[in-house]
Amino acid sequence: MTDNAKTVEFDPGIGPLATDLYLEVYVIENDIANMPQFARKARYFAATYRKILKSLINNLGFYRGCLGWAYYIVNEHKGEAFTGNPFVNYTEEQKAQYAPTEMVDFCIEYLPKFESDLKYFHIKNVKLPENAMNILNQYREFLSINEGFINAKNADDIKLPENIEFSKSPLEIKAELEKAIESKNLDNLINL
């Protein structure tokens, strides 16, 4: 018997491209905390803040890309089963330890501190995406309403945040995701 059921990838390939913002911040913040003089701290921050900024923008692109992929599959793959959802087969122990919003919560808490640090260390001309906090809050809501995807077996199991909007059609979003995956750069997904 042949299985003719259609399937769709849970992750189109952006997962491996996401950076660990927490690790970047932890290393830099720890180094700064151990420096005694303000001038040294300021020079170090000026030399390293771009790593944090790059990682933050990468994460924003990843989050917006995930929302865009969900929008695409909800609209174009109704009823199709997921392949590659790593969360759906979690054991009870793994579910108990799983904190799906942990990283986005860290980003939500860290973003105002990063903006404050930029001012404190006199870093000028750094413009964060205007929609940064909106992306973070939407992604957090997305993770919460989908319970970390532990029960997401098909496209119909995915719920989108109520206020989510995109400037592109689902198929245009898919094309943008494919470009981002090919270029290994998630930054432009912020503007989906």
Task: Check residue 117 and give its pLDDT.
Answer: 94
Dump the DSSP string for 9-57.
ESS-S-GGG---HHHHHHHHHHHHHT---HHHHHHHHHHHHHHHHHHHH
Q: Do the Cβ atoms of 77 and 163 come closer than 8 Å?
A: no
List CB contacts of 84: < 8 A, sequence separation 6 or more: 9, 10, 11
Q: Are 98 and 90 within 8 A, CB to CB?
A: yes
Rounded Cα–Cα distance for residues 44 and 28 (Å): 9
pTM over 0.95: no
pLDDT in tens, the chain (192 residues): 334 568 999 999 999 999 989 999 999 999 999 999 999 999 999 999 999 999 999 999 999 999 999 999 999 999 999 999 988 888 888 888 888 889 999 999 999 999 999 999 988 889 899 999 999 999 999 999 999 999 899 999 999 999 899 999 999 999 999 999 999 999 999 998
Q: What are phi and psi of 62, to 5 degrees?
A: -60, -50
Burial class (CB in 10 A: 0-12, 13-18, 19+), 89: exposed
Please spell the DSSP secondary structure of 99-120, one letter per residue.
-TTHHHHHHHHHHHHHHHHHHH
5-24 as b/e: b if 16+ CB within 10 A:
eeebebebbbeebbbebeeb
